[in-house]
């Protein structure tokens, strides 16, 4: 699946094979590694009891398949409460994106054993939102509508947390008067887009307290991709269309460098015509992309 249409520019027909530049850092972040470790541990220890992910543990179908082979099944409902209604017994795993306290409480009331695989960076944001709300703040949360991470974070203090995704959303904010304000965000957003929204919030609400929670893994992958993109003809991002951080890698490469970027889930999705004229192509991958999938894409590109 391409992030942009058209071809790379550079190499002329008949020249040597293009160089494949392996962008670093790429691939699994610490939160994904830990979530997969937890899920596999629970699958191995199940002793016949069902083990269920409440949503995609991480946003990658290859990981979901691997976990299924290790005894961990998926309930894919985007609404976590609806998903819980289809789990009657056993262990339920909270995904790396986290969940609202009301979801965890509902799971325990059903008698389910709850195992929390929330990324530690997301857990820190949950604690921040709770602490700010308890201190009397109204919180603006920058995030993607429909993504489970914002749902879990906002669920920490739903009456005092306001979701914005765009600059237009900032203009439409009508916040209660007389309460201190703070802004925080989803961990996997574009660094540059988030900064624009924060700056506009500071213009509208000069006293707003800023807590930028974009995680280090996201920042390092975006910075690495943008820096490499300036030296190559185009970029391939290996990752799932479901993955916010993979989509953001495509976005920042295209928006900040003007180079073409393509999102592929497997090597089979590569289109050789994308690379007509390319001397160099950079390859990176999202934080939930298995190493062997990225390696297969690199090998396929090296044969073009």
Residues with catalytic function: 149
As a three-state string, the secondary structure of 61-123 is HHHHHHHHHCCEEEECCCCHHHHHCCCCCCEEEECCCCCCHHHHHHHHHCCCEEEECCCHHHH
Q: Which two tokens stand for residue 234?
A: 């185009």
Q: What is the separation of C-alpha 21 from the centre of its chain, rounded to a whole number of angstroms?
A: 23
Cα end-to-end distance, the chain, whole Å: 18
Angle subtended at Cα 244 by Cα 275 and Cα 76, rounded to the nearest 5 degrees = 115
Measured between alpha carbons, how far is residue 61 from residues 49, 64, 247 in Å? 23, 5, 15
How far is the C-alpha of 121 from the C-alpha of 135, rounded, in Å? 21
CB 267 within 8 A of CB 297: yes
Q: Is the peptide bond before 200 cis (omega within 30 degrees of 0)?
A: no
């Amino acid at each position: 699946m391409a992030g942009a249409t058209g071809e790379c520019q550079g190499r002329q027909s008949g020249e040597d094979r293009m160089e494949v530049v392996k962008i670093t850092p790429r691939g699994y972040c610490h939160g994904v590694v830990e979530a997969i470790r937890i899920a596999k541990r629970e699958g191995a220890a199940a002793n016949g009891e069902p083990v269920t992910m409440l949503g995609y543990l991480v946003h990658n179908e290859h990981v979901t398949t691997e976990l299924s082979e290790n005894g961990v099944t998926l309930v894919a409902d985007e609404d976590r409460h609806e998903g819980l209604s289809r789990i009657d017994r056993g262990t339920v795993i909270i995904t790396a994106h986290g969940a609202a306290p009301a979801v965890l409480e509902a799971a325990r009331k059903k008698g389910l054993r709850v195992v929390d695989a929330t990324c530690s960076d997301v857990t820190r944001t949950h604690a921040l939102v709770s602490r700010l709300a308890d201190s009397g703040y109204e919180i603006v949360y920058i995030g993607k509508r429909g993504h489970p991470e914002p749902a879990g974070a906002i669920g920490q203090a739903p009456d005092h947390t306001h979701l914005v995704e765009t600059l237009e959303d900032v203009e439409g904010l009508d916040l209660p008067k007389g309460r201190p304000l703070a802004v925080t965000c989803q961990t996997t957003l574009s660094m540059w887009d988030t900064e624009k929204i924060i700056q506009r919030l500071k213009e509208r609400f000069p006293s707003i307290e800023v807590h930028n929670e974009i995680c280090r893994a996201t920042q390092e992958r975006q910075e690495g991709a943008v820096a490499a993109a300036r030296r190559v003809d185009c970029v391939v991002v290996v990752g799932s269309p479901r993955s916010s951080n993979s989509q953001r890698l495509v976005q920042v490469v295209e928006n900040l460098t003007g180079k073409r970027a393509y999102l592929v889930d497997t090597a089979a999705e590569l289109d050789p015509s994308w690379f007509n004229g390319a001397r160099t192509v950079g390859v990176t991958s999202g934080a939930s992309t298995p190493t062997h999938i990225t390696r297969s894409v690199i090998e396929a590109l090296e044969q073009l």
